[in-house]
Chain A
Amino acid sequence: MALAQSGSRQLAALRLLRRRLVQAVPLMLGVVVINFCLIQMAPGSFLELMTAENQVSDPATVALLRKTYGLDDPVWLQLLKYIWALLHFDFGFSYRQNMPVIDAISVHLPATLLLMLSSIALALAVGVAAGVVASLKVRTFWDSLVSVAAMFFFAAPSFWLGIMLIVLFSVKLGWLPVGGMATIGGVGGGVAGVLDILHHLILPTLALGLFYAAIYARVMRSSMLEVAQLDFVRTARAKGLSRAKVTLSHVLRNALLPVVTILGVQMGTVLAGSVVIESVFSWPGIGSLLFDSVSSRNYPVVLGILVLGSLVVIAANIAVDLVYMWLDPRIEIR
C-alpha cells in the first residue's frame, strides 16, 4: 500500500514537472520578446556608444559596424535571429567585454547564485525559527522581540543595512571584510579558499537575507497560530502526542506552506535585491555586469542576463511546487 502511494506520488511529481516545463516554453518566449522590444524602444544604442567611445565618425565605418552587428535588419528579423540563436544556446557576442555573452555572464553568475542561495537559506532558517518561537511564546517578551526585529529588518533598506553592517563589523570591529568575494592575492585553494569565501559571504548574506527573514518570521508566526487551531491538531493532542511532536510533525509542516509559496514568488526579487547588495559589497556578481551593460546599452548582455535570470526563477518555482507536494501530499497541483 505504502509502495503504491509512493509510486503514485512520484508519478504525480513527474506529471507536474512535465506540465511546468511545457508552460515554461511560452513563458520564456514572452520574456524574450517583451525584453527585446523594451530594449529596442530605449533611446541610444550600443553602436552609438561604441562609435562614440572609439571616436568613429566615418559614415562608411558606422555602416559597416551596423551590418556586422546585424542592426541593418528589421527589428522583427533581429528578434527571430535572436530566438533562433537562443535555441542553440547562443546568447550573442558582447562587444564591450570582447567575448561571447554566455562567457561574460558565466564569470559573474556563480557569485550571484551563491549570494542568492545563502541569503534564502539564512532567511528560511532565521525566519522560520523566529516565527515558530513567536507563535509558541505568543504575547510574551520573545513574541514582541521577534515582532520588533521583523519590523526593523523589513523596514530597513538593504543597502543601508549593508553599509551599517560594514561600519560595525568591518570598520569598527575589524572582524569581517568590507567587500569582495575573496582575499585578493588568495589564501590558497581547498578548505582555506572555501572558508575565505564564506568569510566574505557573511555580511552580504545578512544584508540581503534578513529582509526576507523578517517576512518569513511574520508569515510563519501567523500561519503557526492558524494551523494550531485546526481540528487535526486538536485530534493529535487528544491522541496524547507530546507538544513537541504535535508542533514539529503536524503544525510546523502545514504552517510552512505559505512560506514556501512566498519563497517561490520572491525568487525574482531576491535576484533583483542581490544586484543592490552586490554594489554595496563589491560582490562580483551579475549585478555589476547588468548595471554596466544597461549603462552602455550592451543589449546582448542585458538580454542574456534577463533570460538566464528568468530561467533561474522558473526553475526555482518548479522546485517550490515539488516541495509543496512533498509537504502536503493532499495537494494536487494542476
Chain B
Amino acid sequence: MRGKVSRRAFGAGVMATGLLGKAARAQEPKRGGTLVATWGGGEPQACYVPAGGGSSPTFSSSKLLERLGRRRMDGVFEGELAESWKAAADFKSYALKIRKGVKFHDGKELTTDDVVYSIDEIWKKYAAASAMTEFAGVEAPDGDTVVMKFGKPVPEFFFSSLMCGSVNYIVPKHVYAGSDPVTNPANNAPVGTGPWKFKEWVRGSHFEYVRNDSYWRKDFPYLDRLIIRYVRDPAGRAAAMEAGDIHIGVFNPVAPPDIKRLTATGKFVATPKGYEEAVWSTSFEVNMRNPIFAKREVRQAMFHAIDRNFIAKTVYYGYARPGTSPIFSPNTAFFTKDTYKTEFSPAKAASLLDAAGYPKKGNEPRFTLNLLAAGWFTENGKIGAYVKQALEDVGVGINLTVPDRPTSIKRIYTDYDFDLAISNQANPSEPVPSTTQYYTSDGIKKGVPFRNASGFHTDEVDQLVEKIKVETDPAKRKALVVEFQKITTLEAPNLPLVELESITLANTRVQNHSNDPNFLSSSWHDLWLAS
C-alpha cells in the first residue's frame, strides 16, 4: 500500500512531530498503558523467521529478540547485547564484549554460548549468509568475550552493520540447539531478551506482548503492553486509527488521502523519519541474456525514455523522488550525486537506439520486449502501464504482464523470463552485499530473489566490489563505492526509477516514535503514551 498525501498536510504532520517532540521532552515519560500498533502489510508466516522472511516477521520479532548492536539516528553504532566491539590490527577478527546481567524471557542468563550459537547456526546459515562469505569462525575465549574471525580484512562499517542487521538476532541456544531452526516451534512464540515478552498470537488478528520486567535497560519499557494488530484493508486501518483502536501504524498503514484527512484533525502526525536504514526503491532491471541489451546504449535508452518525476508525482502522489544511483540518497555514508545521469529525454533515447543499430522503420517497432511488473505492490502495475507507453513513444514494442508475487518471483529470479522488470529493493546503508550483489557475478543465484537477475557482470565491477569488501580505510572505501556507483549508472543493467518515502502515522499521544533509522524493526522499548 502506498498512497497520497499532500505536501502541505505532510509538512504539517512533520512539523507537528517536531513540536510534539519538544512537548514530549518537556513532559516526564508516563508509565503504563497499552499501545496498539499496526503496519501496512499482512500477518507474518511466523512471529520469527530465522532467514528474515520479509518485513512482517521482522516487525513482530524485533520487539522480542535483540541484536548485538544498533545504529542510531545520528549514524553512530552502539552496543545492545554487546557492550562494544573492537577490530584486531589486521581487521581479520573482531572481539565483542557481551553485556552481563541480561536474561532471556524464560529466566535463563544470556551467555557467550548463545552468541556463538546464533552467529554460527542462525546468522551464517540463514539470516546473514550472503554477508558472511568470508566468515572463518567464532569462539568465546572467556565468559565475557566473543571473537569473530574472517578470512580477509573486514571494514569496521561492514562489521558494525552486520552486528545491527535487522534480523541478526541472538536467540537462546537452549531453545534452538538440536532442532531445525526453521521449524522450531519457538518461532511462533519467541523467547528473547527484548523489552517485550510474548503472550499470545491470535492468528488472523493480533500479537499480544507484555512488559519484560527483567529487561536489562533499567526502567524500560515504559508501557505495560504492546499489541500488534493486523488489518488487511488500508481503509479499515484508517477507521481503526480514527476510532482510537490503533495508536500507531508504520510503513504506509493507510492511503495518502487518509493521511491527509487524519493529520488535518490534529490528532495524528505523519512522518517519513525512521526508514533511513531501510529505504525502498522501485527498480528497473534489464535482462542481459537478451542480445538486444548487449550494447550499453540500448540499456541507457530504456532509462532515458522514462520520466521518473512523473512516476514520483503521479503514481506515488509525490511520496517518492527520482532515483539516481544504486546507493540511495539518504545514505549519507556512501551516496554520490556524481554519477551518469539517465535523465528523461525521449530524443536522446531514440538517438541512442538509432546509434545502436535499431532505427525506427515507419510504424513498426524497433524491437519488442516483454516487460514484467512485479505484482506485489499495486504501484508496480501502474508504473508498468506508464513505462509501456513511454517506451512505445520511442519506438520500442512492449508486452506488459503484471503477475502476482509468487509468479513474479519465479519469472524474475528463477526462470529469468523477462526482458525488462519493474521490481523493488530495500537497502541498508552498508552496500555489501545488499546493493553490490545486484551487479556482481556471485550475485547471480538462480532461484534466490532480490539478487542479480539481470545477469550483468564484468570483471571490473567484480574486482571493484572485492576491493570494497576488504578496504578498511573509510575514506578509501567511500571512494571505491563512489566509483562503483559511476560504473553501474553508466552500464545501467538495473537502476532505481524512484526512491520511496515510507510513512509512519501516529496518534499524537504516542511519544518517542520514529527515533530509530529502522523504526519498524527496532525494539520500541522507549515508546510511551501521553495522557
Q: Chain A interface (Cβ within 8 Å of chain B)?
A: 43-45, 48-49, 51-57, 62, 96-98, 107-108, 111, 159, 163, 166-167, 170-171, 174, 177-181, 184-185, 278-285, 288-289, 291-292, 295-297
Residue of A nearest to B199 (CB): A185
Q: Which residues of A contact B235 (CB under 8 A)?
A: 163, 280
Q: Which residues of B contact A62 (CB under 8 A)?
A: 447
A48 and B51 contact, CB distance less than 8 A: no
CB distance from B162 to the nearest CB of A (A): 16
Q: Which residues of B contact A97 (CB under 8 A)?
A: 45-46, 203
* Besides A51-B447, A159-B233, A282-B240, 6 other A-B contacts (C-beta < 8 A): A44-B409, A53-B49, A55-B129, A170-B239, A185-B225, A289-B203
| B227 interfacial contact with A, CB 8 Å | yes
B43 and A288 contact, CB distance less than 8 A: yes
Residue of A nearest to B46 (CB): A98
Stretch at the interface among B105-113, B345-353, B399-407, B419-427: B399-407
A282 and B230 contact, CB distance less than 8 A: yes
B239 and A166 contact, CB distance less than 8 A: yes
Residue of B nearest to A46 (CB): B406
CB distance from A289 to the nearest CB of B (A): 7
13 CB < 8 A contacts A-B:
A54-B49, A55-B129, A57-B448, A97-B46, A179-B236, A179-B239, A184-B206, A185-B34, A185-B225, A185-B227, A292-B42, A295-B405, A296-B406
CB distance from A193 to the nearest CB of B (A): 14
Query: B182, B183, B448: which contacts A52 (Cβ < 8 A)?
Result: B448
Q: Which residues of A contact B76 (CB under 8 A)?
A: none
A56 and B404 contact, CB distance less than 8 A: no
Q: Which residues of B contact A174 (CB under 8 A)?
A: 243
Residue of A nearest to B240 (CB): A178
B404 and A295 contact, CB distance less than 8 A: yes
Q: Which residues of B contact A297 (CB under 8 A)?
A: 406
- Complex CA gap A62/B403 in Å reads 24
- Complex CA gap A174/B182 in Å reads 43
Query: A44, A184, A292: which contacts B229 (Cβ < 8 A)?
Result: A184
Chain B 215-243 interface mask (CB, 8 Å, partner A; 1/0):
00000000001010111110110011011
A184 and B203 contact, CB distance less than 8 A: no
CB distance from B109 to the nearest CB of A (A): 28
CB distance from B59 to the nearest CB of A (A): 15
- Complex CA gap A98/B188 in Å reads 9
Residue of B nearest to A98 (CB): B183
Kindly list the 7 A-B residue pairs having the minimum CB-CB distance in the complex, ordered from nearest.
Answer: A284-B204, A44-B406, A54-B51, A57-B445, A57-B448, A284-B205, A178-B240
CB distance from B50 to the nearest CB of A (A): 8
Q: With A98-B183, A184-B229, A279-B232 in contact, is A48–B410 under 8 Å at CB?
A: yes
- Complex CA gap A163/B233 in Å reads 10
Q: Which residues of A contact B239 (CB under 8 A)?
A: 163, 166-167, 170-171, 178-179
Chain B 227-270 interface mask (CB, 8 Å, partner A; 1/0):
10111110110011011010000000000000000000000000
| B159 interfacial contact with A, CB 8 Å | no
| B80 interfacial contact with A, CB 8 Å | no
B406 and A98 contact, CB distance less than 8 A: no
A54 and B130 contact, CB distance less than 8 A: no
CB distance from B380 to the nearest CB of A (A): 15
- Complex CA gap A34/B206 in Å reads 35
Residue of A nearest to B42 (CB): A292
| B413 interfacial contact with A, CB 8 Å | yes
CB distance from A252 to the nearest CB of B (A): 39
| B98 interfacial contact with A, CB 8 Å | no
A107 and B233 contact, CB distance less than 8 A: no
Query: B54, B411, B446: which contacts A53 (Cβ < 8 A)?
Result: B54
Interface centre among B205, B231, B236, B406 (most CB of A within 10 A): B406
Q: Which residues of B contact A52 (CB under 8 A)?
A: 409, 413-414, 447-449
Q: Which residues of B contact A170 (CB under 8 A)?
A: 239, 243
- Complex CA gap A328/B49 in Å reads 58
CB distance from A295 to the nearest CB of B (A): 6
Q: Which residues of A contact B245 (CB under 8 A)?
A: 177-179
Q: Which residues of A contact B406 (CB under 8 A)?
A: 43-45, 48-49, 295-297
| B474 interfacial contact with A, CB 8 Å | no
| B187 interfacial contact with A, CB 8 Å | yes
CB distance from A104 to the nearest CB of B (A): 8
CB distance from A208 to the nearest CB of B (A): 15
- Complex CA gap A11/B256 in Å reads 63
- Complex CA gap A266/B43 in Å reads 30
| B53 interfacial contact with A, CB 8 Å | yes
Q: With A52-B448, A171-B242 in contact, is A98–B407 under 8 Å at CB?
A: no
Q: Which residues of B contact A44 (CB under 8 A)?
A: 406-407, 409-410
Q: Which residues of B124-169 have CB atoms within 8 Å of chain A's CB atoms?
A: 126, 129-130
| B526 interfacial contact with A, CB 8 Å | no
Residue of B nearest to A285 (CB): B204
Q: With A180-B229, A284-B203 in contact, is A49–B403 under 8 Å at CB?
A: no
Q: With A49-B409, A171-B243, A295-B406 in contact, is A185–B208 under 8 Å at CB?
A: yes
A43 and B410 contact, CB distance less than 8 A: yes
Residue of B nearest to A62 (CB): B447
- Complex CA gap A78/B50 in Å reads 30
CB distance from B121 to the nearest CB of A (A): 14
Q: Which residues of B contact A282 (CB under 8 A)?
A: 204-205, 229-233, 236, 240
Q: With A48-B447, A171-B239, A282-B229 in contact, is A54–B126 under 8 Å at CB?
A: yes
Q: Which residues of A contact B227 (CB under 8 A)?
A: 184-185
| B26 interfacial contact with A, CB 8 Å | no
- Complex CA gap A198/B305 in Å reads 57
Q: With A53-B54, A107-B203 in contact, is A178–B243 under 8 Å at CB?
A: yes
Query: B49, B187, B236, B445: which contacts A280 (Cβ < 8 A)?
Result: B236
CB distance from B444 to the nearest CB of A (A): 10
Residue of A nearest to B201 (CB): A107
Q: Which residues of A contact B404 (CB under 8 A)?
A: 295
Q: Which residues of B contact A55 (CB under 8 A)?
A: 51-52, 126, 129-130, 448
Q: Which residues of B contact A285 (CB under 8 A)?
A: 204
| B372 interfacial contact with A, CB 8 Å | no
Q: Which residues of B contact A281 (CB under 8 A)?
A: 236
Chain B 439-457 interface mask (CB, 8 Å, partner A; 1/0):
0000001111100000000
Q: Which residues of B contact A177 (CB under 8 A)?
A: 245
- Complex CA gap A178/B34 in Å reads 18
